[in-house]
Structure formats: C-alpha cells, structure tokens
Amino acid sequence: MKKAMKLVSLVLAVVMLLGCLAACSSKSATTDSTASTDTASTDTAASDSSEASSDGGEIVIALISNTTGDYAQYGQPVRDGAMLYINQLNAKGGINGKQVKVLEYDDKGDGVEAVNAYNLACDNGITAVFGATLTGTTIALADATYEDNMPQVTASATATGVTVIDPADPESEIRPNVFRACFIDPYQGEKMANYAVEKLSAKTAAVFYQTGNDYSEGLMNAFVAKAAELGLEIVDTEAFAEGDKDFKAQMTNIAAADPDVVFAPIYYAEAGLAITAARAAGCDAVFMGGDGFGSVKNYASADDLEGSVYCSGYAPGTDSVKQFEEDYKAAYNVDEIPNMFAPLAYDAAMLLCEGLKAAEAQGLTAGTDEYKQAVIDAIKTMDGTEGITGSYAFDEFNNPIKPVAIIELTGGNEVYQEMF
C-alpha cells in the first residue's frame, strides 16, 4: 500500500512539473511573438531564416525605417520609394530570376529599435540592409552592420558619422559596407553659405540649430566655417534642445540682430515653429535650411514661409523624375510626391539592387560573406550609374558626388528653382 501511495505521489509530481514547464514555454513563446510583431511591420519578418536564405527563388533583404513616430513624414516616403523600385524590379522578373524579398521593420526613429530590428532580420537570413532614415538611427544601425560587413544603403542619413567611424579624427577608419544616396551634412552647410552670398547677396546671418543632434550640428558647423571663409558675418547664434517647442526667446534675439538670412539646419516641424515665431517677433530675414526642411509647407503659414529656401537631393517636375512621380502617385494614390525622401529612397534601392545583381552575376550564394562583399564592391566602384536624382559615383568616404537642388517656398508651395 505504501509503495502504491509513493508511486501515485511520484506520478502526480511529474504531471505537475510537466504542466509548469508547459506553462513557462507557452509564456516564453507569447513574449517572443509579441516582440516580433512590435518590431516588424509585416508578417514576412517572421519567416524562417534557413528557408529565406536557402530558397533559390528569393534574395532576402531588410528595410528598416521609421514609419511611425514624430518623424514618420520622412520614414514613410522612404519606405514607399524603396518598395516602389523593388516591386517594379520584381514585376520584371527580379534579379537573376529571383524575387527580392523584403522584411520590413519600423524602428520608430529610435537607434535601439533599429539595432533590434537588424538583429531580428539577421536571424531571418538577410543578405543586405536598406535603411535607416534619420541620421542618429542610421549611425546606430551602421555600428551593427559594420561588425558583420553587411551591405547597407541609406537614402537620407546625411551626417559624416554614418560612413566615418570618428568624424573628429582625420585618420579615422570608414565603414566600407555603408553607402548613402543623399549628400552629406558638411556639403549642405557649405552649399547654403555659398547660396546666401552668391544668390541672396547676404552680408549677415544668424544661425538656429538643435544641440545634441548630429544632423543639425553638422550642417551648422559647416555653414559657419564656410561663412567665415566667404566673409558672411554671423551676428547671432541660437539653439534649442530636443523636445523644445517654444522658440519665442531665440527668435526675439535673432530679430534684434537683424540678419539678412537665418540658417536653420533643423527638421520641418521645428522649422515651421521657428519661422512662425520669427515673423511674430518682427524678423523678416530669409530662412534657409538643409534637406530636413522638406514638407515645411505643412507646418507654417504660406505668408510666413514665403521666400524661404532649402537644398534638396530632388528636383521635382524635371524630366529625370517625371516617370517616377507618375508611378509613385499611382502606386500610393496621392496627388503629389510628399518630399525628396521618396525619390532618394527609389535611388537608394536601385543602388542596393545593382550591388545584388553583381553578386548574382558571379554565381555566389546569397547570405554568404563572399556574396555580401561582392555587393559592397559593386556599389563602391560605380561610376556614373544613373538614378532619378542624378548619376552616382562614390568618393573615398562612400558619399555620392552630385549637385543639390534649391527649393523655394512660393505661395505655400515648395518650388524647384535651380541646381546649384
């Protein structure tokens, strides 16, 4: 009887233990599934890595962008422009008879989210990365891809630190795996200082920038250095921190300095607030910005914005982009191209896919180290590859060599003026 009781007790203990383990396993699986859903914007991100990388009919890449959050007005057009190119490519047969499979992730404009998305994408067998969109997020992502020598192309991240590990060190190594379709921050700052002097006949300037922001500080420093070289006097410098929305004090100071131009290398939402506050303070200077000004027309009145200018990587309405504009409007049922980030993303996707074509032509296996290096080598050695925003060749820092488009706010619209 005692032996029977012991046996029953033992069986019950085993049953309870198995039930506990099953419950723990179920909780873990639920947690993992939730994390994947939060990070990935499509079900494709949950595909099995071995199937994705070994299937002869697919080449798997990741697309990481901020399609939600404060700056989704940049991230969504980047996603849409890239997918337009890839969908068109796949409709024509893909690359070497293989479809380009895209695993999409929303990084929400956060560097940690971008790296988490990349790690998840690697688990799912990718062979290249498109992204990210914002400068800080892209640098965080580039740190991760550099370690793996993973081919990465960004459409829009302009800071020197995207491709150069330590921009402050003249002897710094570059990230040889990272490329961009846009021009860099110093180039924009220098161009706008030149434009202020040569086209606007400016003698004095004020600067308004965001502290702790790689993009804003990069443009600001380049503008100030070039201004000194050109004899353009900086009469006031004002700054704000991330999250600030009230710029009355800074704009009052700028108005008192009475500059000919105000260079504000900031993003569209803050630019709209700053220009509105400046006009209220009595400042009638011409506001100038970098490519972050794109879509500023939606964030201030037409009267306040009138005459403001910014540089862009995209010349809307020109022959080179006409077909793209028609295709984009039809694909996404919109009346206009939202900003320059969509065409730049179209070009960035083209650059990445040209690299994939080169690796495929060599008969290499997607996902291998040799394949990734072949993609990188092909992009690096491009010389005059035609995109819709210009022709592409790359300098020693993996930056494209191309002119800028000047956009002016006229009657509430962002109107292309000239290549400069």
Domain ranges across the chain = 45-183+320-389, 185-312+406-419
For residue range 342-381, list pLDDT tens digits in order: 999 999 999 999 999 999 999 999 999 999 999 999 999 9
pLDDT of 12 strictly over 90: no
Greatest extent of the chain over all pairs of C-alpha atoms, in Å: 105
Alpha carbon of 249 to those of 76, 296, 367: distances in Å?
33, 21, 54
Mean pLDDT of the chain: 88
Average pLDDT over residues 387-414: 93
Determine the pLDDT at residue 56. 57
41-50, 89-98, 103-112, 325-334: the lowest-pLDDT one: 41-50
Place of tokens 């990069």: 218
Determine the pLDDT at residue 351. 98
Q: How many angstroms separate the CA atoms of 227 and 214, rounded? A: 20
pTM of the model: 0.75
Per-residue 3-state assignment (H helix, E strand, C coil) for the chain: CHHHHHHHHHHHHHHHHHHHHHHHHHHHHHHHHHHHHHHECCHHHHCCHHHHHHCCCEEEEEEEECCCCCCHHHHHHHHHHHHHHHHHHHHCCCECCEEEEEEEEECCCCHHHHHHHHHHHHHCCCCCEEECCCHHHHHHHHHHHHHHCCCEEECCCCCHHHCECCCCCCCCCECCCEEECCCCHHHHHHHHHHHHHHCCCCCEEEEEEECCCHHHHHHHHHHHHHHHHHCCEEEEEEEECCCCCCCHHHHHHHHHHCCCEEECCCCHHHHHHHHHHHHHCCCCCEEEECHHHCCHHHCCCHHHHCCCEEEECCCCCCHHHHHHHHHHHHHHCCCCCCCCHHHHHHHHHHHHHHHHHHHHHCCCCCCCHHHHHHHHHHHHCCEEEECCCCEEEECCCCCECCCCEEEEEECCEEEEEEEC
pLDDT of 306 strictly over 60: yes
Nearest to 67 by CA among 113, 36, 118: 113
**For domain 185-312+406-419, which CATH number applies: 3.30.450.20, 3.40.50.720, 3.40.50.2300, 3.40.50.620?**
3.40.50.2300
Q: Do domains 45-183+320-389 and 185-312+406-419 have the same CATH topology?
A: yes
Domain 45-183+320-389: top CATH class? alpha beta
Q: For residue 214, which phi and psi values (nearest 5 degrees)?
A: -55, -45
pLDDT of 383 strictly over 90: yes
Place of tokens 């990481």: 64
Determine the pLDDT at residue 360. 98
Residue 283 — pLDDT band, cuts 50, 70, 90? very high
Q: How many angstroms separate the CA atoms of 67 and 73, rounded? A: 8
For residue range 76-134, list pLDDT tens digits in order: 999 999 999 999 999 999 999 999 999 999 999 999 999 999 999 999 999 999 999 99
Instruction: Answer positive or negative: Cα dihedral of 108, 112, 116, 118.
Output: positive
Residue 320 — pLDDT band, cuts 50, 70, 90? confident
Q: How many angstroms separate the CA atoms of 52 and 232, rounded? A: 56
Average pLDDT over residues 166-182: 96
Q: What percent of the chain has pLDDT over 70?
A: 87
Helix pair 268-280, 248-257: axis angle to 10 deg: 60
Determine the pLDDT at residue 401. 86
Query: Cβ neighbours of residue 103 under 8 Å, at least 6 residues apart?
Result: 40, 42, 44, 45, 47, 60, 61, 62, 63, 121, 124, 126
